[in-house]
């Protein structure tokens, strides 16, 4: 039997964790997290790390395994995730991967794109522009130079903006033109499914999740991380808005409203990214699990 990787995707707060545990228990297997926000052990509340009982319900990998002070990128994740899959496929015919970070799931399923070497001065100039004129200046530039990538990129992440812009500037071509059309060979087959809901329900779930994070201590977690804010891991929705509150740029009510707004925007971009893959079948979050299980079984047996 060819080894199968069940890849569960969808927007934040949709219920992917609960579904992944059900699927893992169905196949008596383990879960790889491809949520790049949940890699860091210091960021439990603001990244909605699964609850202890959820982590105990199935073996999870790549959750809180790094510190925010460590350099860790999608290339590192690709290598480590493939190595872990090789190891776990020795004892399991089916594995589960779950996450809303499209670039990270793509790295495991298809492999990363390869880009030309870039003059480091371009990055320095873009960082200076960020410092002088703010994130909006980079966003506007990317929208002009590569509207296709702008539509799916996490434009609240300065690291991602600068990476795309330096390619555009150095090559004179759109960053999106370098995105790989051909998949790398893998020693497993991937069965992907998407979990979704009506937009208003997604947004309502996000708003309620943010309120719950605040109740559970997000403010104190962010305060403890404030002195580490220069690290890229903390260029993350939920933390940067509270850092602005600590800096007295916003009041608390505004900061919470900005977290909700930026998370909603993030969810919209997640859906745009994943829906580019027309092969992914989408299930409403309320779909009976037996129907999802039957679909998966049919795909695994085919």
Kindly state whether residues 68 and 8 are assigned to the same domain. Answer: yes
Q: Structural domain tally of the chain?
A: 2
Label the pairing between strands 189-196 and 94-98: unpaired
pTM for the structure as a whole: 0.86
Cα separation, 5 vs 189, whole angstroms: 6
> Residue 237 in contact with residue 266, Cβ under 8 Å?
yes
254 shares a domain with 189 = yes
Residues 13 and 86 in one domain: yes
Is the same domain home to 100 and 151? no
> Which of 131, 161, 178 lies at the terminal end of a domain, its last residue?
178
Short-list 217, 259, 213, CA closest to 240: 259
CATH of the domain at 147: 1.10.20.140
Same structural domain, 102 and 136: no
Domain that holds residue 214: 4-113+181-301
Report angle CA 236, 260, 214 to the nearest 5 degrees: 80
Kindly report the number of other CB atoms within 10 A of residue 152's CB atom: 20
pLDDT digit string (tens) for the chain, length 302 residues: 799 999 999 999 999 999 999 999 999 999 999 999 999 999 999 999 999 999 999 999 999 999 999 989 899 999 999 999 999 999 999 999 999 999 999 999 999 888 888 898 999 999 999 989 999 999 999 999 999 999 988 888 888 899 999 999 999 999 999 886 677 889 999 999 999 999 999 999 999 999 999 999 999 999 999 999 989 899 899 999 999 999 999 999 999 999 999 999 999 999 999 998 999 999 999 999 999 999 999 999 98
- How many angstroms separate the CA atoms of 253 and 277, rounded? 38
Instruction: Check whether residue 138 and residue 86 sit in a common domain.
Output: no
């Amino acid at each position: 039997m060819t080894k199968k990787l069940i890849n569960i995707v969808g927007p934040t707060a949709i219920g992917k964790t609960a579904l992944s545990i059900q699927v893992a228990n169905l196949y008596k297997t383990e879960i790889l997290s491809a949520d790049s926000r949940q890699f860091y052990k210091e960021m439990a509340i603001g990244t909605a790390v699964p609850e202890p009982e959820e982590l105990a319900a199935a073996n999870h990998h790549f959750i809180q395994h790094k510190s925010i002070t460590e350099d860790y990128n999608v290339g590192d994740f690709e290598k480590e995730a493939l190595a872990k899959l090789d190891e776990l496929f020795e004892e399991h015919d089916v594995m589960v991967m779950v996450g809303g970070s499209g670039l990270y799931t793509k790295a495991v399923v298809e492999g990363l794109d390869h880009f030309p070497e870039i003059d480091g001065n371009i990055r320095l100039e873009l960082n200076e522009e960020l410092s002088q004129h703010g994130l909006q200046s980079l966003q506007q530039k990317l929208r002009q130079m590569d509207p296709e990538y702008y539509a799916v990129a996490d434009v609240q992440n300065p690291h991602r903006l600068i990476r795309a812009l330096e390619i555009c500037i150095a090559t004179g071509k759109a960053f999106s033109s370098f995105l790989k059309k051909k998949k790398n060979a893998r020693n497993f087959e991937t069965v992907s499914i998407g979990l979704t809901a009506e937009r208003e329900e997604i947004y309502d779930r996000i708003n309620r999740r943010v309120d719950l994070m605040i109740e559970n201590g997000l403010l104190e977690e962010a305060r403890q991380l404030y002195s580490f804010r220069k690290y890229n891991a903390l260029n993350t929705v939920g933390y940067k808005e509270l850092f602005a509150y600590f800096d007295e740029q916003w009041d608390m009510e505004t900061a919470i409203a900005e977290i909700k707004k930026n998370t909603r925007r993030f969810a919209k971009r997640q859906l745009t990214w994943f829906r580019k893959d027309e092969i992914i079948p989408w299930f409403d979050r309320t779909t009976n699990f037996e129907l999802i299980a039957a679909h998966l079984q049919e795909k695994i047996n085919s």
